[in-house]
Amino acid sequence: MTDELKLVLVDKEQNRFRVAREAFVRPDVLGAEYERIFDKCWLYVAHESEFRKAGDFVARTIARRNLLVTKDTTGELRAFFNTCPHRGATVCRESAGNSKNFQCFYHGWVFGCDGRLKSQPGKESYGEHFNDHGEGNLVPVPRFASYAGFCFVSYDRDIVSLEEYLAGAKEYLDLVANYSESGMSISSGKQEYAIRANWKLLVENSIDGYHAVSTHASYLDYLKNTNGSLSSVKLEGKSRDLGNGHAVLEYRAPWGRPIASWIPLWGEQGKAEIEQIYNRLVERHGKGMAERMAHSNRNMLIYPNLVINDIMAITVRTFHPVAPDYMLVNGWSLAPNEESEWARKYRLSNFLEFLGPGGFATPDDVEALESCQNGFSNYKAVPYSDISKGMGNPAPNYDDELQMRAFWTRWNEQITGGAPEPAVRGVPSPASRAAA
């Protein structure tokens, strides 16, 4: 077909990788993403540490569906659609808490934290066998599983196991889980904000080493001026395609890490504490792994919309599109349970200082993403974005764009159904539109 839109163009001979900007602006592309990506992947929903006691729950919107995740009285985690089987009302209207029962506010049906219907006002008006087959219970999400403490749901009953889906990302989730001797936990308080940009711009940005020096110049200057002996702000490292659309960049950077990279700003007391943490890592994991855990940073994408930024703090971040040019973002801080008050103070301060919505990084990133989205208003005249950096490089650097190509390649497979000549049928190509 001559009027097909090729959303991802790959020229291996010329090392060119381009993405059509229509992919960021068209409502029908977003519709296809919901159907072919968000309904067909494993999606992060919560962390196991958010459920300590029976009855602990969180209510979250994951890819347009309201979900309720609970810990039942046997200690099992469960995920339900947060809609009343009676006539549809949202059953749990709080975002988190503890409750053994959930009463629908509309007509008063009550469900246990295992999802079972426990009572109905006017029960005698219903048939005796009304709930014999569980039609009155909360409906479970088709698939729910966790790996290394990270809980995921899938709306696709037939999806591969979570472990198979995570592919090479498992090694990095294990690495994060292994920081702690007593488990990792989400700290209380979360970051919640919106960006007037397409969700895939935040995918790109979250694993983009290339922008750090220019976009975050003010933070790097701040580090230089507060770190005492810091004379260089050099970043260096590599990026890896982890399979199934997941990718990571791993690099050295000049900031301090409560696990376990000291900076002069933290003084002698901090130095002693960091040394202790480091020595414990060596005891448990050996020198090589301890060195990597302590001194390397990792920004990882778990396809399609989970980012784990293991940098000066560990941020777990998800984002969901609401419109082609609008997304909602949530960020949580993850930390070792046994961390001292001193280290926790620096971790939380880093979580806000660099990564917070009012910090050094996020406002600059948001500005960049919204600026790109504005730029896409010219998509007919300037139809493609270029994502070729480092394409011919056999050992891609942290600031190459291999990570983004890993995402876009999987995205394209899912959107096009794996067509060898990726194209969306019946959609005029950017070139033909530009010529029109």
Query: 163: which 2 tokens?
Result: 């472990």
How far apart (Å, rounded) are the C-alpha atoms in residues 298 and 291? Answer: 13
SS3 sequence of 45-72 = EEEHHHCCCCCEEEEEEECCEEEEEEEC
DSSP per position, 165-209: HHTTHHHHHHHHHTT-SS-EEEEEEEEEEEESS-HHHHHHHHT-S
Residue 104: name its binding partner from ligand FES, Fe ion, none (Cβ under 5 to 8 Å by kind): ligand FES
- Is the Cβ–Cβ distance between 414 and 405 less than 8 Å? no
Least distance from Fe ion to the Cβ atom of residue 225, Å: 20
- Closest CB to Fe ion among residues 51, 360: 360
Tell me which residues in 361-420 interact with ligand FES (CB under 6 A): none
Q: Which does 106 bind (CB under 5 to 8 A by kind): ligand FES, Fe ion, none?
A: ligand FES
Q: Are 340 and 292 in contact (CB under 8 A)?
A: no
Task: Pick out residues in 74-93 that bind ligand FES (CB under 6 A).
Answer: 84, 86-89
DSSP character string of 136-173: TSPPBPSEEEEETTEEEEES-TTPPPHHHHHTTHHHHH
Q: Is-contact 356 190, C-beta < 8 A?
A: no
**What is the DSSP code string of 225-287?**
HHSSS------EEEEEEEETTEEEEEEE-SS-BTTTB--GGGHHHHHHHHHHHHHHHHHHHHH
Which of 269, 334, 323 is CA-nearest to residue 300?
A: 334
Shortest Cβ 81–ligand FES spacing (Å)? 13
Choose between 79 and 369: whose C-beta lies nearer to Fe ion.
Answer: 369
Specify the residue, 59 or 247, whose C-beta has the smaller distance to ligand FES.
59
The one of Fe ion, ligand FES, none whose footprint includes residue 84, by CB under 5 to 8 A per kind, is ligand FES
Q: How far apart are CA 154 and CA 40, in angstroms?
A: 7
For ligand FES, give the closer residue by CB, 131 or 178: 131
CB of 390 to Fe ion, least distance (A): 18
Binding at 365: pick from ligand FES, Fe ion, none (beta carbon under 5-8 Å per type): Fe ion
Write out the binding residues for ligand FES, residues 100-159 only, by CB under 6 A: 104, 106-109
Q: Nearer Cβ to Fe ion, position 50 or 250?
A: 250
Q: Which stretch binds ligand FES (CB under 6 A): 99-107, 224-232, 329-337, 389-397?
A: 99-107
As a whole number of angstroms, the distance between CA 363 and CA 19 comes to 25
Map residues 354-393 to x or -, x wherever contact with Fe ion holds by CB under 5 A. Answer: -------x---x----------------------------
In whole angstroms, the minimum distance from the beta carbon of 95 to ligand FES comes to 19
- For ligand FES (CB under 6 A), the number of binding residues is 10
Closest separation between CB of residue 80 and ligand FES, Å? 13
Among ligand FES, Fe ion, none, what does residue 113 contact (CB within 5–8 Å per kind)?
A: none
Classify residue 385 as exposed, middle or buried by CB count within 10 Å of its CB (0-12, 13-18, 19+).
buried
Question: What minimum distance in Å lies between the beta carbon of 121 and ligand FES?
Answer: 8
Residues near Fe ion (CB under 5 A), total: 2
Residue 102 CB, shortest distance to ligand FES, in Å, is: 10
Give CA–CA dist 177/156, Å, rounded: 27
308 binds, among ligand FES, Fe ion, none (CB under 5 to 8 A by kind): none
Minimum CB distance to ligand FES, residue 105 (Å): 8
Q: State how far the Cα of 314 lies from the Cα of 138, in Å rounded to an integer.
A: 34
CA-closest candidate to residue 305, choices 327, 334, 324, 333: 327
Nearer to ligand FES, 28 or 106 (CB): 106
Report, in Å, the least distance between residue 190 CB and Fe ion. 19
Please say whether the beta carbons of 7 and 23 come within 8 A: yes
Site for ligand FES in 167-226 (CB under 6 A): none
Cα separation, 230 vs 208, in Å, equals: 24
List residues binding Fe ion (CB under 5 A).
Answer: 361, 365
List residues binding ligand FES (CB under 6 A).
Answer: 84, 86-89, 104, 106-109
